[in-house]
């Protein structure tokens, strides 16, 4: 329990954290990986290289300091992080490692400004936050055991492998032990653990793209290439594309994730699912669930892609459009190829805009679910904000470390 004096000290550090947050978190990760290399497997080096992990942590630390007296205000953020921690198998014994390196980094970055009072206050604050995460994560682990029948990693067989687009490949996975699969919540992801080239294990999260309740899990993996010269190619995605064949084995942890399709208060308002690139994967699972469980509700599925070569699940969406009269699909390509234009097998060209929303929705209110690249999410957020959509009606997920759509 933090004392009033400790709370006051934490609040006083907010300006310094806002100014030096990314310097602090960059120092923290470098220090922790050096002093405790055993935690490296929990992190994606591409996110470290791009700086997204450091920015996400800096934002989280600032938010915690600002809400130190009302941590319940951060419940959604805590749930998002706790689900991610569980997906990777993080346990209570890992928290002292983080705490030790975080406090040392505060001392080393701030120097003489990091007084004993500041270190003491942040030690107490970190301890309180760690307890919140540990307690919630233990609940999630227990829920996984109850809901899915296992925790940790379990062997699955690749039953089928197929191309979803030129750069996205789907794997259909069934448990090696033959036990039935329980339905996941639409929008959840699983964790894959592999050891590329016989090296150290790496773990990555992949959304489940299948209809909940079928007898397999399907993940649809984009081959990730380096976004910049010094960044690595996606280790896990390239391994799955190049090395994993039908009949192969993968280790999976149970479904996790806070970005899930919610039961609507009423089904009169349309449900709008807006997917960019491989961000379609959780939304496709949501689409199946909504078609099965929200009969009669108008559903609009907007898919954005560069061109048809990299547009996934075209035939699958076309079949759903034929089978369900309450579903409208719209394909918008930002850079259609010459062959796309010759065939004319897309609905519109360009980026998402207000005109398209008016065309599909008019002035009606709706509930929105978004998933895709960060620039698309930020652009779409601004479109919905300008349209007057209530924030409570907008649900979204970043691929990778969480960010801020308002930025």
List CB contacts of 375: < 8 A, sequence separation 6 or more: none
Residue 200 burial (C-beta neighbours within 10 Å; 0-12, 13-18, 19+): exposed
Residue with tokens 């400004």: 113
Residue with tokens 């699940």: 313
Q: Report the C-alpha gap between 107 and 109 in whole angstroms.
A: 6
SS3 category, 33: helix
Token pair belonging to 374: 């960060």
Per-residue H/E/C for 228-287: CCCCCCCHHHHHHHHHCCCCCEEEEEEEECCCCCCCCCCCCCCEEEEEEHHHHHHHHHHH
Catalytic one of 64, 126, 137, 298 = 137
Is position 69 annotated as part of the catalytic site? no
299-305 β-sheet, strand order: 348-349, 327-333, 299-305, 271-276, 367-371, 394-397
Token pair belonging to 279: 């961000």
Token pair belonging to 50: 């791009």
The distance between the two most distant Cα atoms of the chain, rounded to a whole number of Å, is 70
Nearest to 221 by CA among 210, 206, 201: 206
Q: Which residues pair with 160 in a beta bridge?
A: 172
Q: Report the C-alpha gap between 2 and 6 in whole angstroms.
A: 6
Catalytic one of 29, 64, 95, 369 = 95
Is position 95 annotated as part of the catalytic site? yes
Q: Report the C-alpha gap between 160 and 247 in whole angstroms.
A: 8
Q: Report the C-alpha gap between 127 and 124 in whole angstroms.
A: 5
Q: Report the C-alpha gap between 269 and 367 in whole angstroms.
A: 7
Residues catalogued as catalytic: 95, 137
């Amino acid at each position: 329990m933090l004392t009033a004096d400790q709370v006051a000290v934490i609040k006083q550090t907010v300006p310094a954290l806002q100014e030096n947050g990314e310097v602090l978190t960059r120092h923290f990760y470098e220090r922790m990986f050096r002093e405790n290399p055993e935690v490296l497997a929990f992190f994606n080096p591409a996110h470290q290289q791009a700086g997204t992990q450091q920015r996400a942590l800096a934002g989280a630390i600032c938010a915690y300091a600002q809400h130190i007296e009302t941590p319940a205000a951060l419940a959604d953020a805590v749930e998002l992080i706790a689900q991610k921690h569980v997906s990777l198998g993080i346990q209570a014994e890992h928290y002292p490692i983080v705490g030790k390196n975080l406090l040392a980094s505060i001392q080393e970055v701030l120097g003489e400004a990091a007084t004993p009072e500041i270190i003491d206050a942040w030690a107490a604050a970190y301890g309180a936050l760690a307890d919140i995460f540990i307690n919630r994560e233990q609940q999630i682990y227990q829920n996984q055991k109850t809901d899915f029948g296992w925790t940790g990693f379990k062997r699955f067989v690749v039953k089928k492998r197929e191309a979803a687009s030129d750069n996205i490949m789907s794997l259909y996975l069934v448990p090696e032990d033959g036990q039935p699969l329980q339905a996941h919540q639409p929008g959840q992801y699983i964790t894959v653990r592999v050891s590329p080239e016989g090296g150290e294990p790496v773990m990555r999260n992949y959304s489940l793209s299948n209809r909940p309740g079928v007898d397999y899990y399907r993940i649809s993996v984009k081959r990730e290439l380096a976004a910049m010269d010094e960044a690595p190619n996606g280790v896990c995605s390239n391994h799955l594309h190049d090395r994993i064949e039908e009949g192969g084995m993968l280790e999976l942890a149970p479904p996790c994730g806070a970005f899930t399709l919610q039961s609507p208060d009423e089904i009169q308002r349309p449900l709008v699912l807006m997917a960019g690139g491989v961000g379609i994967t959780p939304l496709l699972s949501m689409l199946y669930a909504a078609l099965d469980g929200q009969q009669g509700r108008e559903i609009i599925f907007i898919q954005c892609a560069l061109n048809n070569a990299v547009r996934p699940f075209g035939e699958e969406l076309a079949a759903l459009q034929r089978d369900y009269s309450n579903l409208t699909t719209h394909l918008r390509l930002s850079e259609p190829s010459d062959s796309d234009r010759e065939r004319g097998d897309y609905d519109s060209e360009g980026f998402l805009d207000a005109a398209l929303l008016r065309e599909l929705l008019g002035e009606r209110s709706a509930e929105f679910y978004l998933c895709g690249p960060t620039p698309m999410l930020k652009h779409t957020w601004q479109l919905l904000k300008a349209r007057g959509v209530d924030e409570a009606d907008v649900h979204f997920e970043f691929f990778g470390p969480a960010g801020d759509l308002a930025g």
